[in-house]
Structure 1
Amino acid sequence: MTAFTTSADGTRIAYDVRGEGPPVILVAGAMQFRAFDPVTSAMAGLLSARGFTVINFDRRGRGESARAPSFTLLNTLEDLHALTEVAGGPVTLVGNSSGGAISLAAAAAGLPVSAMVLFEVPLGVEGGADGKQNLDGLRERIAGTSPDATVEYFMKDMPTEWLEGARNSPGWPVMTAMGPSLEADFEALAWTQSAPRTELWKSITVPTLALVGEQTLPIMPPAADSIAAHLLHARRESIPAANHSWEPEVMAARIAAFLSE
């Protein structure tokens, strides 16, 4: 059943809670919210059955969460802070794709994070300028008049068939409606290039597992290696997964095993 909490700027954030045990918050990537992402919802149920309290929420401007006056990374971190208060203590963040960059930013900002599991965070090269360029370009399109152009720009570096499949799917209008909320995704990725990562992430001391699929895009293994190299207590592993997606049973089992170590 959907519940609601209120973020610092008054935006209402929708979430559901399953299970009882150590709290886990699922941090969605670019094109995800509960009703549009049955894979993550299925995984939430499987993970909760393994003895965890799992909070799955709709990021602002998506699903049942309210549209908001702004969609910055800071806004999203404030939303996460409100959810940690719902959880009642330190939480594990499970960040999917760009949600992993948001999770890193949350931990670096001092939110009460006890562990992280990050799946295929598409980090650019350390110190690169592409993240800032992508953010600037996205903001220009969000300010424009074409919702299609915003999502097309966001997906410009993904495989061409992914964009074509999305554009020709019934879900395209849902994706274009999420356009403004993509600002936090690109802002989080730009943040990871804003300073040397050893400096940027020096306050992150929680156990972290950086996961990549056994079949994945070329950017993903070096990105996971960078996370493992620049966080004090992090390691990188591969799991059976392909096409920037995972099976609910596989992911639930790996998260549960990591958190029980």
Structure 2
Amino acid sequence: MSKKKSSPAPSLHRVTSADGTAISFERSGDGPVVILVAQALSDLRDNRRLAALLADTRTVVNYDRRGRGGSGDAGGWSIAREIDDIEALIDAHEGRAVLFGASSGAILALDAAAALPEKVGGVIAFEPPVIVDDRRAPVPRDLADRLEQLVDEGRGADAVGEFHLVALGASPFLTGAMRLMVGPWRAMVAMAQTAVYDTRLCAGLQDGMPLSRDRWGGLQARALVLVGSKSEPFLHSGTLELASLIGARYATIAGAHHATPMMKPAALMPSISSFLRATLP
């Protein structure tokens, strides 16, 4: 029996965003372009498994969001600057792409799709962390300011811990256990400033109130919203409301949870592949 030929290793590249920030990315595969937008406190390493699966039929751009990994950070963060980063990546790849984002990366992918209707043909949002009811506590509106103060004081580890406790709703036990995973914990602490960014990115979407149409009501790109069957109840109600708001296809992935895109992305591939076939040649 012949073995399947392995794909070449991803190649490393950089583009320059509108404000001069260098954005680092890995490119693999061949075909229509899919750009992977990382979740909070993660970089392109966390999406490599998904990238390898998609690269069988697509050109995959797996990038470090600003302030992470090999990408720079000019400061003065805004959603618009992160969208500029995605636009620079699209422009470097024939001017059109589908975006995939998980968790807060899904929020950014939706924002970019709404802002770049001529350049984004589709968007796949896995569990954007919107809170639309009382199934979990809202995220306090002052959290980003509290995190920024901790980072400014040189307490990046405390900022990461607070982000996990308050924004992600992790238990003190789990947060303490994560500190014992020295390599992953150091990587997150190195990205502590970006926890501030992602908290600001999600502001207004985690208040325990119905979503407004203002942010994505005019979305033109085809959209697919995914949720894992094992994920928390608030993610089910939030993603269902979001999908209805933007007219997206909606699917529940059996056995999946919030970390599935990083840990077991093969579970997502049937839904992703079906959507990509309908969206891009």
Instruction: Give yes or no for contact 2:114–2:221 (8 Å, CA) kept in 1.
Output: no
Q: Equivalent residues in 2 for 1:101-140 (5 A)?
A: 101-110=107-116, 112-125=119-132, 130=139, 132-140=141-149
1:18 aligns with 2:28: yes
Q: Which amino acid aligns with 2:62?
A: N
Report SS of the residue matched to 2:203: helix
Match of 1:189 in 2: 202
User: CA offset at residue 178 of structure 1?
Assistant: 0.2
Instruction: Give yes or no for contact 2:256–2:267 (8 Å, CA) kept in 1.
Output: no
Q: Equivalent residues in 2 for 1:155-194 (5 A)?
A: 155-157=164-166, 158-160=169-171, 161-170=173-182, 171-192=184-205
Instruction: Give yes or no for contact 1:58–1:64 (8 Å, CA) kept in 2.
Output: yes
Instruction: Give yes or no for contact 1:76–1:184 (8 Å, CA) kept in 2.
Output: no
For each residue in 1:93-118, what CA deviation from the matched residue of structure 2 results, as whole angstroms up to 9, or x when unmatched?
10111101111211222352111111
User: CA offset at residue 182 of structure 1?
Assistant: 2.0
Q: How many Å separate the matches in 2 of 1:240 and 1:162?
A: 24
Q: How many Å separate the matches in 1 of 2:226 and 2:240?
A: 10
Q: How many Å separate the matches in 1 of 2:15 and 2:178?
A: 31
Q: How many Å separate the matches in 2 of 1:238 and 1:131?
A: 28
Instruction: Give yes or no for contact 1:98–1:121 (8 Å, CA) kept in 2.
Output: yes
Alignment gaps of 5+ in structure 2: 1-10
Match of 1:203 in 2: 218
60-69 or 188-197, which deviates more:
188-197
Alignment gaps of 5+ in structure 1: none
Q: How many Å separate the matches in 2 of 1:162 and 1:145?
A: 23
Considering only CA atoms, is the larger Rg found in Structure 1 or Structure 2? 2
Paired positions, count:
255
Candidates 19, 32, 42, aligned match of 2:42: 32
Q: Percent identity?
A: 31
For each residue in 1:15-68, what CA deviation from the matched residue of structure 2 results, as whole angstroms up to 9, or x when unmatched?
011112111100000121123x2xx2121111110x211100011121111243
Match of 1:245 in 2: 259
112-121 or 155-164, which deviates more:
155-164
State TM-score, norm by structure 1. 0.89
Q: How many Å separate the matches in 2 of 1:165 and 1:155?
A: 12
Q: Once superposed, what is the RMSD of the aligned Cα atoms?
A: 2.2
User: CA offset at residue 79 of structure 1?
Assistant: 1.0
Q: Specify whether residues 146 and 30 from structure 1 end up closer, same or farther in structure 2 by C-alpha distance, changes over 3 A only.
A: same
Candidates 71, 77, 86, aligned match of 2:83: 77
Match of 1:44 in 2: 51
Report SS of the residue matched to 2:67: coil
16-25 or 248-257, which deviates more:
248-257
For each residue in 1:106-133, what CA deviation from the matched residue of structure 2 results, as whole angstroms up to 9, or x when unmatched?
122235211111111111238x974633
Q: How many Å separate the matches in 2 of 1:99 and 1:222?
A: 19
Instruction: Give yes or no for contact 1:102–1:185 (8 Å, CA) kept in 2.
Output: no
User: CA offset at residue 217 of structure 1?
Assistant: 1.6
User: CA offset at residue 254 of structure 1?
Assistant: 2.2
User: CA offset at residue 92 of structure 1?
Assistant: 0.9
Q: Specify whether residues 162 and 106 from structure 1 end up closer, same or farther in structure 2 by C-alpha distance, changes over 3 A only.
A: farther
